Amino acid sequence: MRIGFEVSSFKGRAKSLISVLAGLRAAGEWPLQHHREVEEIVCRTPSSALNYCRYVVGGFGVSGEAERVFLNNPGIGIRYLGFVRRDHFLVEDTQRRFRKKVVKNPELALEWARSFRKRLSEEEEMVFVESPFCAKEYARHVIFGPFPEKVHHALVLKSFGDLPEWDARYLKDYINWSAPLMKNLEGTRG
């Protein structure tokens, strides 16, 4: 017996559609391909689009057009890219706009760099001056050393300002950790 259903009857109920499709997928009755009609329903929010990938299409991901939804929540966008094992979106305009959002936020920049084990450009690394915690984590766990001089000096200057207790601690940790490394770098240049 074959049972059919009208996808459009799930408008506004993405969670229900994902559940039905996940069941069909588990039974081997749902092909891995982009279905525009389905994506119009399940890709209205970043979390719903990510769940669609998790439970229905796997690492196949959504179409380049549907990936635009991740501009609404770059944090979920980073998780999506990790899930589909890519560090970029399919459509160049989406990638460009996404990158702009990520490099303006130290937490997102750190998350992106950690997820893909890639370093930001020196200019983009200036975002870490806004967050001593993210700066310390990025230096230790992404670049495994001190920042380039411009960023490093900006962080040192920031440490002389009036900072909340934890920000001052994170900066102090970074400076104490990076000082010997900076000396080694200066010794190799001289």
pLDDT in tens, 110-133: 999 999 999 999 999 999 999 999
At 187 the pLDDT is 56
At 24 the pLDDT is 86
Both structure tokens of 109: 């920049």
At 29 the pLDDT is 79
Co-location of 94 and 131 in the same domain: no
**Last residue of a domain, which of 102, 125, 151?**
102
**Last residue of a domain, which of 102, 118, 150?**
102
At 7 the pLDDT is 83
Burial class (CB in 10 A: 0-12, 13-18, 19+), 98: buried
Both structure tokens of 103: 């490099």
Residue 188: pLDDT over 70: no
Residue 153: pLDDT over 90: yes
| Residue 148 DSSP label | P
> What digits encode the pLDDT tens for the residues 6-58?
888 889 899 999 999 898 888 887 776 778 999 999 999 999 999 999 999 98
Residue 53 inside a domain? The answer is yes
Residue 83 inside a domain? The answer is yes
| Total tally of structural domains belonging to the chain | 2
Residue 189 inside a domain? The answer is no
